């Protein structure tokens, strides 16, 4: 169910007046300013399918409790189906007078059933309803977000598989540090995405708790069956405490932490692609379909997707801050402040669903300039550590080995030459421990091949990492494809 923007909210049909959920004790309707402030249907309308699923489960529970007879239950379920179809086709739409999704759907039910429609509200409140709807929506969409994360991770894995042996200058402080394989580098962007997926699964297990049955805050005096309702809606159990059930928004904040963290991961990847595609690096060329041009400079090819990944992390982090700030200091139980919980999560879901496919396409179609990477790999004396390790293997204490290697680098800097270009004589002059044998370790290829321990950058361990990541992603696919929420 898409959002309905403010302007598209239609005037209520003549047949029905404002569907008010209260009224008995009120002399008149709300002031225009209150109504305008209060309304949330323009953004919470997307909860409609979940609200309807909750209503079906609630109707069955009322029938089992003897509060609806079989005929009434049948009519209510048929009306809910009809309403769902009308929502999907767009023939039923919220109006300016519907405060929120619950009000709008109650109106739809009343239009179809008359007074019978009013029976469904027994034992239920918008407080347990909205908490339930949001859990259902997020559990459903967490899987969609996971599927998009998996696609990006797969694009990175696929690109990495082409560069298991491609050398690159690994960096710290954006300074050339030690050679790595570019495959290893790309897989270093996959690991955080695997952790994001892991966090979503953990979050999902904690979020699979049903608030229904809590009512406004105190539970219900009617013989409802929260355990059964929970099961019907794909939850593992009903909430243990009705006050907590309607007040708890941990699942919202936690979801927003996960999306903010993912945003930070994507931002880092974006920043690297921006650097890699610059004239100065020239490591990567983007496919035309995933790059943009300039309106004035005909030669330009810009990495806008990567920049938007960097930029959009701001709103993802902001959403988390918004919700934590809103929740801080709220007294139990439900407070209207909590209506502000929805837009940040909807925006987080929308942002990631938009961004991730673009990033995946950009990564899978980019061309890696192996020649430029290989040429850059030894630049900046990235093999100096190999010299120190070679000395250590000869029994020289590392402290001294570091010192000796430092002198060798200083000599190279002064002469503007590479480590393997120093003469036999000069090697001796730098240290009695140095001899021409050191040149054996002074190639990028040998430095990479020497790295065989698990998790290191050599082609061997990288191939293992690649296979493990591909296996894990296949398992995640199954998780993301599961339909846990009845629709
Ligand atoms: N639209 C409200 C929200 O999103 C629904 C709950 C309203 N409950 C209430 N007691 N006013 O939070």
Top pLDDT among 436 and 21 is at: 436
Instruction: Over range 299-318, report the average pLDDT.
Output: 96
At 22-35, the pLDDT tens digits run 677 777 888 999 99
Q: Which residue is closest in CA terms to ligand 1's atom 4? A: 339
- The CATH classification number of 128-376+466-481 equals 1.20.200.10
What's the 127 CA to ligand 1 centre distance in angstroms?
Answer: 6
- Counting residues of the chain whose pLDDT is more than 90, the rounded percentage is 90
Instruction: Over range 435-440, report the average pLDDT.
Output: 95
Which pLDDT belongs to residue 221?
95
Instruction: Over range 369-398, report the average pLDDT.
Output: 96
Mean pLDDT of the chain: 94
Please indicate whether residue 124, judged by its CB atom, sits closer than 6 Å to ligand 1: no
Examine the pLDDT at 44 and tell me if it is beyond 90: yes
- The CATH classification number of 6-122 equals 1.10.275.10
At 240-268, the pLDDT tens digits run 999 999 999 999 999 999 999 999 999 99
What's the 228 CA to ligand 1 centre distance in angstroms?
Answer: 24
Which pLDDT belongs to residue 276?
98
Instruction: Over range 465-472, report the average pLDDT.
Output: 98
Please indicate whether residue 272, judged by its CB atom, sits closer than 6 Å to ligand 1: no
Domain boundaries, given as residue ranges, for the chain:
6-122, 128-376+466-481, 384-442
What's the 265 CA to ligand 1 centre distance in angstroms?
Answer: 34
Contacts of 192 (CB under 8 A, 6+ apart): 265
197: how many CB neighbours lie within 10 A of its CB? 25
Please indicate whether residue 162, judged by its CB atom, sits closer than 6 Å to ligand 1: no
Q: Specify the CATH class of 384-442 in words.
A: mainly alpha
Q: How far is CA 330 from CA 323, 324, 338, in A?
A: 12, 11, 9
Task: Identify the sign of the CA torsion 157, 163, 165, 171.
Answer: negative
Catalytic residues: 173, 294
Which pLDDT belongs to residue 18?
63
Which pLDDT belongs to residue 378?
95
* One-character DSSP codes across 94-126: -BTT--SHHHHHHHHHHHHHGGGGGGGGTT--H
Which pLDDT belongs to residue 377?
97
Distance separating alpha carbons of residues 146 and 200, to the nearest angstrom: 8
At 139-197, the pLDDT tens digits run 999 999 999 999 999 999 999 999 999 999 999 999 999 999 999 999 999 999 999 99
Which pLDDT belongs to residue 9?
66
Please indicate whether residue 130, judged by its CB atom, sits closer than 6 Å to ligand 1: yes
The pick from 336, 337, 338, 343 for probing ligand 1's pocket by mutation, whose C-beta has the most ligand atoms within 8 angstroms, reads 336
Q: Which atom of ligand 1 is nearest to the CA of 40?
A: 1
Examine the pLDDT at 20 and tell me if it is beyond 80: no
Examine the pLDDT at 433 and tell me if it is beyond 50: yes
Contacts of 62 (CB under 8 A, 6+ apart): 68, 73, 119, 120, 122, 123, 222, 224
Nearest one of 141, 323, 142, 133 to 246, comparing CA atoms: 133
Q: How far is CA 319 from CA 170, 263, 348, in A?
A: 34, 11, 7
- Model confidence band, residue 19 (pLDDT cutoffs 50, 70, 90): low
Instruction: Over range 297-308, report the average pLDDT.
Output: 92
Please indicate whether residue 127, judged by its CB atom, sits closer than 6 Å to ligand 1: yes
Which pLDDT belongs to residue 16?
43
- Counting residues of the chain whose pLDDT is more than 70, the rounded percentage is 95
Give the CA dihedral 248, 254, 257, 262, nearest 10 degrees: -140
Examine the pLDDT at 316 and tell me if it is beyond 50: yes
Which pLDDT belongs to residue 155?
98
């Amino acid at each position: 169910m898409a959002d309905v923007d403010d302007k598209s909210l239609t005037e209520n049909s003549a047949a029905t007046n404002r569907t008010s959920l209260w009224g008995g004790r009120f002399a008149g309707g709300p002031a225009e300013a209150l109504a305008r402030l209060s309304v949330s249907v323009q953004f919470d309308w997307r909860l409609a399918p979940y609200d309807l699923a909750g209503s079906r489960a609630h109707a069955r529970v009322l029938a089992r409790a003897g509060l609806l007879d079989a005929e009434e239950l049948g009519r209510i379920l048929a009306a809910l189906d009809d309403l769902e179809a009308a929502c999907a086709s767009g023939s039923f739409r919220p109006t300016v007078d519907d405060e929120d999704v619950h009000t709008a759907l109650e109106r739809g039910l009343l239009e179809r059933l008359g007074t019978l429609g009013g029976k469904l509200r027994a034992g239920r409140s918008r407080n347990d309803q909205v908490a339930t709807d949001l859990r259902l929506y997020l559990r459903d969409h967490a899987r969609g977000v996971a599927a998009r994360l998996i696609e990006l991770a797969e694009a990175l894995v696929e690109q990495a598989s082409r560069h298991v042996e491609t050398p690159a200058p690994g960096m710290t402080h954006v300074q050339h540090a030690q050679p790595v394989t570019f495959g290893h580098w790309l897989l270093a962007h996959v690991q955080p995405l695997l952790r994001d997926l892991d966090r979503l699964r953990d979050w999902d297990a904690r979020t699979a708790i049903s608030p229904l049955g809590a009512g406004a805050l105190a539970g219900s005096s009617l013989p409802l069956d929260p355990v059964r309702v929970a099961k019907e809606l794909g939850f593992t159990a009903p909430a243990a405490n009705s006050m907590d059930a309607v007040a708890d928004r941990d699942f919202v904040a936690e979801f927003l932490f996960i999306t903010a963290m993912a945003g930070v991961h994507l931002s880092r990847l974006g920043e690297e692609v921006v650097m890699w595609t610059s004239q100065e690096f020239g490591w990567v060329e983007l496919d035309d379909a995933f790059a943009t041009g300039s309106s004035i400079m005909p030669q330009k090819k810009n990495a806008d997707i990567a920049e938007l990944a960097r930029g959009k992390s701001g709103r993802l982090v902001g959403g988390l801050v918004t919700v934590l700030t809103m929740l801080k200091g709220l007294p139990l139980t439900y407070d209207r402040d909590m209506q502000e919980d929805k837009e940040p999560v909807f925006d987080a879901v929308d942002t990631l669903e938009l961004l991730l496919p673009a990033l995946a396409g950009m990564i899978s179609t980019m061309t890696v300039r192996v020649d430029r990477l290989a040429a850059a790999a030894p630049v900046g004396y990235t093999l100096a550590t190999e010299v120190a390790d070679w000395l250590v293997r000869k029994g020289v204490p590392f402290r001294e080995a570091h010192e000796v290697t430092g002198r060798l680098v200083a000599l190279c800097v002064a002469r503007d030459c590479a480590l393997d270009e120093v003469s036999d004589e000069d090697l001796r002059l730098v240290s009695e421990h140095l001899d021409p044998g050191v040149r054996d370790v002074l190639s990028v290829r040998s430095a990479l091949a020497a790295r065989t321990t698990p998790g290191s950058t050599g082609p061997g361990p990288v191939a293992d990492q690649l296979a493990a990541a591909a296996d894990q992603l296949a398992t995640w696919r199954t998780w993301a494809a599961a339909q846990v929420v009845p629709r």
